[in-house]
Amino acid sequence: MDSDNVVRIFDTTLRDGEQSPGATLSSAEKLEIARQLARLGVDIIEAGFPAASPDDMAAVQRIAREVGTADGPIICGLARVVDSDIRASWEGVREAAKPRIHTFLGTSDIHLQYQTGLTRAEGLEAVRKGVSLARSLCEDVEFSPMDAGRTDKAYLVEVCALAIQCGATTLNIPDTVGYVTPEEWQETISSLIAETPGGGPGSGVIWSVHCHNDLGLATANTLAGVLGGARQVEVTLNGIGERAGNTSLEEVVMAIRTRPQFYHVTTNIESRELIKTSRMVSNYTGLAVQANKAIVGRNAFAHEAGIHQDGVLKEASTYEIMVPEDVGLASSELVLGKHSGRHALRARLRELGYEIDDEELRQVFARFKDLADAKKTVTDADLEALVHDQVQGVQEFFHLVDIQVSCGTMGLPTATVKLACEDGSVVVQPAVGTGPVDACYKAIDAVVEAPNTLLEYSVHSVTEGIDAVGEVTVRISPEGEDRSFGGYGADDDIIVASVRAYLAALNRMLAVTGAGGRTPEGRVATVSLQ
Ligand code: KIV
Ligand code: ZN
């Protein structure tokens, strides 16, 4: 296939995806996800919004240095059409072998009037200045007329033509509020390509679409954009993002792959990495994937009805339009046993794509040994769950030392937790709850003293069987606030996994709200770590 038939996959999980409520990622997690995105074969990683905060800047710079190698993806940083944002974006990505600045301005009358307070003429001037500055710094410049779905068509053509004239090489057309429908979007994209001076076939300009899912149409609209001539799509893993989210990478990629005679395009994605990438993003963001989510949901390839099972056993294509192995759903293999050593574990983790440092290896190895004792068969999926739990890279204001729970039909569910605090002390705290998890969370709350609301708690098993590793994701929000923080925990004991997830979310919350590391005076029992 020639390059006109390759749809570039622009992944914005680390930028638009991270804007999902509760999806704050540590820079260690961002780097791991970026490495995995490179293995997945995305063409462009939007690594963040460098002007937003020093943390964002540092994460983008690190990804640019470590993932943006010559044979790796383009690394992109977002910027408003504002001088300081554009310079910050360049500072973020400049060390990548293939850097890109992505700059944007809201161009609908609603955005111009209420957000930036610019007239249409002033909007054009801002685009001229912003794109020209970006192009003076970087060869590869993308421009987005934000809220293009509700922008006057003639004005949209004018803005796009100006951006191309000032040096933009990719024109990304966003449906920022998820408003458009597939038929009209295909027409919008094809007419823009045809009517924008300097943007037609042979101009070298790549047209792109960026759709949000407010009406559940993001994937359909993105594919309609491809039919209209777009050769870049902006997507996130699991479709995470603002409000109802962005277009889901896995859905677009597998639609293109499953229906080549219809779309006549291809992508550079290694589809067998999809499940793994989806799990990593879900575990690190604390945003659980719904069971029936297309491609990556737990039930996406499960057949329940007898007639379906019978059909699939006779001939898989009766009810399967995709091969589960093609998305990375190979049955989990036994990889290591309880006699396996540290080197074998490191080697297997490397094969799975995890580069962890010596201290992380020591911790993962200790937990692997416990798991191998309890479970006998340790699979790749189990190992990944342990690594995701261990390598969250969040500052630990409170760390789980031990936990003991008593529950059942007689008596009150009671938990005693032993937590190591940031100041070096260890606190032992009992509590009674409505169930064992509630008792644990109450005991932790009594130590941490950071009032919050538990918004979401979900548990599921990594593999099948009674001895499976359990994964827990939780989302909490500080009392009286809208923002939320996610946490992930994995263990063969789901109470322990629940505690790990809750502590991860609390530590994340404390890192942002700055209220962590309280002194343990006055607790039930205090033991010095020294
Ligand atoms: O949704 C949107 O319009 C965006 C732009 C910044 C591209 O995310
Ligand atoms: Zn967006």
Per-residue model confidence as pLDDT tens digits over 109-121:
999 999 999 999 9
CA of 1 from ligand 2 middle (Å) equals: 30
- Tokens describing residue 309: 């099972």
Q: Which atom of ligand 1 is nearest to the CA of 144?
A: 7
How would residue 305 be classed by pLDDT, with cut points 50, 70 and 90? Answer: low
177-193 pLDDT per residue, tens: 999 999 999 999 999 99
SS3 346: helix
Tell me if 386 sits within 8 A of 371, measured CB to CB.
yes
Atom of ligand 1 nearest to the CA of 15: 8
HEC profile of 366-413: HHHHHHHHHHCCEEHHHHHHHHHHHCCCCCCCEEEEEEEEECCCCCCC
DSSP string across 140-194: -EEEEEETGGGS-HHHHHHHHHHHHHTT-SEEEEEETTS---HHHHHHHHHHHHH
Best residue for ligand 1 mutational test, from 146, 171, 208, 246 (most atoms within 8 Å of Cβ): 146
Q: How far is the CA of 14 from the centre of ligand 2 (A)?
A: 12
Write phi, then psi, for 103 (nearest 5 degrees).
-120, 150
For the cut 60, the answer to whether the pLDDT of residue 530 exceeds it is: no
Phi, psi of 448 (to 5 degrees): -75, -35
CA distances 530 to 349, 359, 525, Å, are 34, 20, 15
Angstrom distance (rounded) from CA 527 to CA 530: 9
Whether residue 403 contacts residue 431, with contact meaning beta carbons closer than 8 Å, is answered with no
Q: Whose CA is nearest to atom 2 of ligand 1?
A: 176
Answer for the pair 12, 247: CB distance below 8 angstroms, yes or no. no
**Local confidence band at 330 (pLDDT 50, 70, 90 cut-offs):** low
Counting from 1 in the atom list of ligand 1, the atom nearest the Cα of 177 is 1
Confidence of residue 524 (pLDDT cuts 50, 70, 90): very low
Supply the pLDDT for residue 337.
Answer: 75
> Is the shortest distance between the CB of 16 and ligand 1 below 6 Å?
yes
* Better-predicted residue by pLDDT, 387 or 2: 387
Rounded Cα gap, residues 144 and 153, in angstroms: 14
Band of residue 392 on the pLDDT scale cut at 50, 70, 90 = low
Distance CA 459, CA 367 (A): 19
Per DSSP, 266 falls in state B
**What is the distance in A from the centroid of ligand 2 to the CA of 228?**
20
- Ligand at minimal distance from the CA of 78 is 1
Instruction: Report how far ligand 1's centroid is from the alpha carbon of 142 (Å).
Output: 12
Q: Are strands 398-406 and 414-421 parallel, antiparallel or unpaired?
A: antiparallel
Q: Is the pLDDT of residue 528 over 50?
A: no
Report the pLDDT value the prediction gives residue 519, as an integer from 0 to 100: 45
- Give the chain's length: 530
For the ranges 6-15, 58-67, 511-520, which has the lowest average pLDDT? 511-520
Helix (H) or strand (E) holding 527: strand 525-528
pLDDT at residue 522, rounded to an integer: 35
Residue 186: exposure state from Cβ atoms within 10 A (0-12, 13-18, ≥19): buried
In tens, the pLDDT along 364-378 reads 898 888 888 877 668
Q: Name the region of 49 (left: φ>0; alpha: ψ -120 to 50; beta: rest).
A: beta
Our mutation pick for probing the ligand 1 site, out of 141, 144, 159, counting the most ligand atoms within 8 A of Cβ, is: 144
Q: Which two three-digit tokens encode residue 245?
A: 């989210």
Token digits of residue 417: 């937790």
DSSP string, 406-457: E-SSSS--EEEEEEEETTSEEEEEEEE-SSHHHHHHHHHHHHH---EEEEEE
For residue 453, the cross-strand partners are 477
Contact 222, 250 (CB under 8 A): no
pLDDT in tens, 62-104: 999 999 999 999 999 999 999 999 999 999 999 999 999 999 9
The C-alpha angle 32, 34, 37, rounded to 5 degrees, equals: 110
pLDDT tens digit sequence for 16-47:
999 887 777 888 899 999 999 999 999 999 99
Calpha distance 148→483 (Å, rounded): 28
* DSSP secondary structure of 18-49: GGSTT----HHHHHHHHHHHHHHT-SEEEEE-
β-sheet bridge partners, residue 288: none
What CA–CA distance (Å, rounded) separates 251 from 255? 6
Backbone angles phi, psi at 518, to 5 degrees: -70, 150
| pLDDT at position 521 over 70 | no
pLDDT band (50, 70, 90) for residue 517: very low
Distance 201 CA to ligand 2 centre (A): 26
Residue 449 pLDDT > 60: yes
Q: Output the average pLDDT for the chain.
A: 89
For 188-217, the DSSP string reads: HHHHHHHHSTT-STTS-PEEEEEEB-TTS-
At residue 14, the 3 state secondary structure works out as coil
What is the rounded distance in angstroms from the CA atom of residue 122 to the CA atom of residue 124?
Answer: 5
pLDDT at 195: 98
Q: Work out the pLDDT band at 244, boundaries 50, 70, 90.
A: very high
